[in-house]
């Protein structure tokens, strides 16, 4: 290519990088002198030996120019406060080839440097405008069709680009989950919303490939393929050699991925359309035909800083920056355009300036469109809730034939059995849910043949077979990534996290991915998931921190997440019905916390009394979101607010308090922990002479703090109040656990204090 004198001289004049990159292209075209090869017709190779035809090249070039000028526009208008995002795609425009060679029905989970991909994918459907849609997103306009102005994201509902603002590599597990779900649908007879031979596309940077979340996704992809199970995911590593300012060692990506078993490696030159097109095509065709996980190593560069605030001259040498700018893929595309005779210098510059004008005009237009101006507008898609529709769905019981098949006949229906304890009734409720929803899947560690470590899922694998109830590899991140993939494809996933402590390993799959999708897609995409988690403390015989985790704060902090915790079997069934209805109707992500210590509890006061076993609620019964349960409803000398293990503890302590102090004690089982029903809590507190908050979680950031806030803000701040909570420590092994967790004696002592 022709030498570029501009970069070195302009830098001494105080020009910014965007101006330099812009001027480099113009001068390169103006100064170009070379031989011209003229292709014969639209479908002739753009250059001898290339598999890319002339028409395809021209369209790819236009997509590259759109991407570049959106970047340049953002750098200029950000300082005018007209756009709000400057992480650009310059140097990555070769990803447009991936878009051209795939379909608009191939779900895509994209890296933030995907402007070229998006511009090209917009061609797949008539009447769509990549420039205006992108400008609206840059401007944070309410009319942004991707997120409704909530963030600059690459996304489009009709183009199957799921909007996201992933943390580093956090979208890779759900991309694999989507690929697996495409194949799983056939096995369970589920109708996909996309063609059966679709593939999932996932792009990311070379630096991100080192992240633990990326590595777990690659491992799970290989684990799947090793067992001859289809997983048609195309992982596109856009290797620009740098992560913000940290350089990737030369050759690292190729050496790290070229020889991985069951992750098929392809290389493509993303800097050269003529050279890279066939290479990308080979990877796409391989993934689609073999249904194997495929790693496409796409060579790119980054010709401007990470974002507008990244002044690279402060940490990169002039010579290095000059070399980077000389490798700009748009210069190579310009060379192809000129040497092929498809453009003259004048016509190419005219296209370049026309694209600039189009992008700036769209941005100015977008700046005049309305933006989010109220909290209500911001939060509207976060946690949709339609109570009447949810109630109707939860109580729907039109699946009697499937119920009879699942339970083995009329006389074996659970509502016709004697009262049972929590573990049994959760299992019965799961049978019910899976009979009701043929698209539901239950999976996790040890849930299939073994029936879970506490036998809660016993019998489900035999009843619904391995295509719907199955074990996963020991990796919570992938379990939740699979759940998102199944949800993307219209199924109802019920993943199990074996212990609450294990959830924290994978929290971002719910916090940053699953629960945020409705918000960042303006409710266009949803993640209907019911996550079951064996939880809380007081487990005997198999204790310690990892099996007695009461840290619910990490769940309650997640915007939009529904968290419920039943303490008895009948509540477990009706709550599960409502959670699945919330997922089906409103697309909600739900966390269903199962108190391990209550799984097998049959007695309440004395051994053999059987007072903690309950009749199974027949179909048609459900529990409303936020609805609590009251014990001794008319008592008001002391009102105890609690949940989970605290319910039985409070009921036992109440007998002692009544005998000793003569008080009538009302126990309030909240059942729903997020969102807390503040109005219900306040109403119960107002009639109380004294209040006690019993929370087995830690003193700091526990549910109890939320309960007290609701009480005080509800007007009962002057009522005598005590809090009985766990200590701010990890839970030790054996009997020492009871030193850090609240007990009945602590509840009684708190009552005496108020007396």
CB 673 within 8 A of CB 703: yes
CA–CA gap between residue 89 and residue 73 (Å, rounded): 12
300: left (phi over 0), alpha (psi -120 to 50) or beta: beta
CA–CA gap between residue 379 and residue 401 (Å, rounded): 41
The answer to whether residue 545 is catalytic is no
Q: Please pick, among 104, 151, 421, 547, the residue that the annotation labels catalytic.
A: 547
428: left (phi over 0), alpha (psi -120 to 50) or beta: alpha
CB 62 within 8 A of CB 351: yes
CA–CA gap between residue 503 and residue 480 (Å, rounded): 9
**Cα dihedral across residues 201, 206, 210, 213: positive or negative:** negative
b/e map of 450-473 (b: 16 or more CB within 10 Å)? ebbbbebbbbbbebbeeebbbebe
What SS3 state is found at 425? helix
Return the ∠ at Cα 326 (arms to 321 and 332), rounded to 5°. 150
Name the phi and psi angles at 536, rounded to 5: 70, -175
The token pair at 598 is: 């209550």
Q: Is the peptide bond before 662 cis (omega within 30 degrees of 0)?
A: no
Name the phi and psi angles at 557, rounded to 5: -80, -10
CA–CA gap between residue 253 and residue 249 (Å, rounded): 8
The token pair at 464 is: 């619904």
CB 624 within 8 A of CB 578: yes
Catalytic amino acids? Answer: 547
């Amino acid at each position: 290519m022709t030498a570029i004198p501009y970069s070195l001289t302009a830098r001494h004049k105080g020009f910014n990088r965007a101006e330099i990159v812009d001027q480099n292209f113009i001068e390169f075209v103006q100064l170009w002198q070379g031989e011209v090869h003229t292709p014969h017709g639209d479908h002739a190779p753009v250059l001898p030996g290339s598999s890319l035809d002339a028409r395809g090249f021209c369209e790819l070039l236009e997509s590259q120019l759109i991407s570049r000028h959106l970047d340049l526009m953002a750098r200029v208008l950000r300082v005018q406060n007209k756009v709000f995002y400057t992480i650009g795609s310059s140097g990555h425009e070769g990803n447009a080839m991936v878009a051209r060679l795939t379909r608009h029905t191939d779900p895509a989970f994209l890296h933030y440097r995907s402007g070229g991909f998006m511009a090209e994918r917009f061609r797949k459907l008539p009447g769509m405008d990549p420039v205006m849609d992108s400008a609206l997103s840059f401007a944070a306009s309410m009319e942004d069709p991707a997120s409704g102005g909530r963030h600059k994201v690459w996304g489009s509902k009709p183009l199957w680009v799921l909007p996201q603002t992933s943390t580093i590599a956090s979208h890779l597990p759900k991309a694999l989950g989507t690929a697996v779900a495409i194949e799983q649908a056939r096995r369970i007879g589920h109708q996909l919303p996309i063609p059966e031979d679709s593939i999932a596309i996932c792009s990311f940077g070379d630096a991100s490939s080192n992240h633990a979340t990326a590595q777990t996704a690659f491992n799970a992809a290989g684990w799947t393929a090793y067992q001859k199970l289809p997983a048609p995911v195309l992982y596109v590593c856009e290797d620009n050699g740098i992560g913000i300012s940290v350089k990737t060692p030369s050759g690292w990506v190729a050496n790290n991925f070229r020889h991985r078993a069951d992750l098929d490696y392809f290389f493509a030159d993303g800097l050269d359309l003529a050279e890279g097109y066939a290479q990308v095509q080979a990877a796409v065709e391989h993934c689609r035909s073999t249904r194997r996980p495929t790693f496409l190593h796409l060579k790119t560069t980054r010709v401007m800083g990470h974002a507008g605030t990244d002044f690279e001259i402060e940490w990169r040498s002039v010579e290095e920056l000059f070399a980077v700018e000389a490798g700009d893929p748009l210069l190579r595309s310009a060379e192809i355009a000129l040497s092929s005779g498809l453009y003259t210098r004048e016509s190419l510059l005219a296209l370049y300036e026309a694209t600039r004008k189009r992008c700036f005009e769209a941005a100015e237009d977008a700046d005049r469109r309305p933006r989010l101006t109220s909290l209500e507008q911001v939060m509207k898609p976060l946690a949709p809730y339609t109570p009447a529709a949810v109630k109707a769905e939860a109580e729907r019981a039109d699946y009697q034939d499937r119920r009879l098949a699942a339970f083995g006949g009329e006389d074996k229906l659970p509502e016709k059995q004697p009262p049972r304890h929590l573990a049994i009734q959760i299992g019965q409720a799961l049978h019910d849910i899976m009979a009701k929803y043929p698209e539901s899947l239950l999976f996790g560690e040890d849930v299939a043949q073994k029936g879970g470590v506490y036998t809660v899922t016993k019998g489900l694998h035999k009843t619904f077979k391995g295509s719907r109830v199955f074990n996963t590899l020991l990796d919570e991140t992938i379990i939740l990534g699979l759940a998102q993939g199944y949800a993307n494809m219209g199924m109802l996933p019920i993943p199990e996290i074996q212990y609450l402590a294990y959830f924290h390993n994978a929290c971002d799959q719910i916090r940053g991915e699953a629960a945020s999708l409705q918000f960042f897609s303006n409710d266009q995409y949803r993640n209907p998931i019911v996550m079951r988690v064996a939880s809380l403390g007081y487990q005997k015989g198999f204790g310690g921190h990892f099996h007695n985790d009461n840290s619910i704060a990490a769940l309650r902090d997640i915007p939009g997440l529904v968290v419920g915790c039943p303490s008895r079997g009948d509540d477990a069934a009706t709550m599960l019905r409502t959670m699945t209805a919330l997922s089906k109707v409103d697309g909600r992500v739900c966390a269903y916390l199962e108190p391990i210590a209550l799984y097998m509890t049959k007695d309440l006061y004395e051994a053999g009394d059987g007072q903690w076993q309950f009749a199974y609620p027949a179909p048609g019964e459900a529990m409303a979101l936020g609805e609590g349960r009251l014990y001794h409803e008319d008592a008001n000398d002391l009102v105890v607010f609690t949940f989970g293990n605290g319910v039985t503890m409070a009921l036992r302590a109440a007998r002692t308090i009544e005998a000793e102090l003569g008080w009538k004690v009302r126990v309030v089982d909240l059942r729903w922990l997020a969102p807390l029903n503040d109005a219900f809590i306040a109403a119960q507190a107002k009639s109380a002479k004294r209040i006690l908050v019993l929370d087995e979680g830690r003193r700091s950031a526990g549910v109890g703090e939320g309960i007290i806030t609701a009480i005080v803000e509800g007007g009962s701040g002057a009522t005598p109040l005590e809090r009985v909570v766990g200590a701010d420590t990890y839970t030790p092994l054996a009997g020492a656990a009871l030193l850090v967790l609240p007990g009945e004696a602590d509840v009684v002592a708190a009552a005496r204090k108020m007396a």
